[in-house]
Amino acid sequence: MLRLTAEDRATYLFLRGKGILKDEEAQRVPMRNGTTLVCCADGDQFDDLYANLAGMCLQKMPWPRIHTLTCHGGALIIPSDSPLNKGFRGVNMIEDIVDAWSMKGTEMVALYAHAPCGAATKISMSLAQILDNLVQAKLELKQALIKAGASTKVVCLVHIDRGAEEGKRTYFLSAAEWQLMTRHNPIVPGRRWPVQLQKAAP
């Protein structure tokens, strides 16, 4: 089982302290017509992730109508410049999401990222980079949905496995708040992010 690195744990605590990673609330998102779930295929995390989303859905409808699209990396394969977007993976995922809307009429897409993530770890992608890619995935997907004539809401959710003692939690990530914060704390591969973490992680 993978564990959060010291740097990623410091990033997680920093973002919780700043209110960037918010407690998940069902009222934030429309689910009355079902949800398209885009997530990583990680078998160690999927059950908890799915159960959490299903619980939110059940607050708004009699059954969790979740249309599930999974692959290694999940939503992180969508951005055109993502290191996990090899070949046509991102384009194919966007097409599948648009098809799900046209076939099922779901009114929400839940884009999930999780940490620690095997696909991200394999290419040394930090938690900050994971979240940055997740937000970019939302922006590119929204353009495709608008072009297709869909008014579907896209929500960024982040699943964090904090270890056996602390357990697993899912958080809501505001794309607008993330963009505002990273404007002043740009993510540069190869250095700790943001500057406030320089002393937080060994």
What would the pLDDT profile of 155-193 be if each residue is shown by its tens digit? 999 999 999 889 999 999 999 999 999 988 888 776 667
Q: What is the pLDDT averaged over residues 44-69?
A: 90
Distance (Å, whole) CA 16 – CA 1? 24
Percent of the chain with pLDDT over 90: 71
pLDDT of 200 reads 47
| Predicted pLDDT of residue 141 | 97
Quote the pLDDT of residue 27: 53
Percent pLDDT > 70 in the chain is: 90
- Beta carbons of 151 and 105 less than 8 angstroms apart: no
* pLDDT, mean of residues 72-87: 95
Q: What is the DSSP string of 59-112?
A: TTSSS--EEEEEETTGGGG-STT-TT--TTHHHHHHHHHHHHHHHH--SEEEEE
Q: What is the pLDDT of residue 190?
A: 65
The reported pLDDT for the residue numbered 142 is: 96
Inter-residue contact 78 to 140 (CB < 8 Å):
yes
| CA distance readout (Å), 97 to 26, 27, 187, 192 | 21, 23, 28, 34
- The answer, yes or no, to whether residue 202 has pLDDT greater than 60, is no
- Mean pLDDT check: name the lowest of 30-34, 78-82, 141-145: 30-34
By three-state DSSP, how is residue 58 classified?
coil
Q: Who has greater pLDDT, 117 or 62?
A: 117
Q: What is the pLDDT of residue 154?
A: 95
Task: Give me the pLDDT at residue 48, please.
Answer: 93
CA separation, residue 183 to residues 4, 77, 132, 195 (Å):
25, 23, 11, 13
How do residues 107-126 score in pLDDT, each as one tens digit?
Answer: 899 999 999 999 999 999 99
pLDDT for 106 = 87
- Give 20's pLDDT tier (boundaries 50, 70, 90): very high
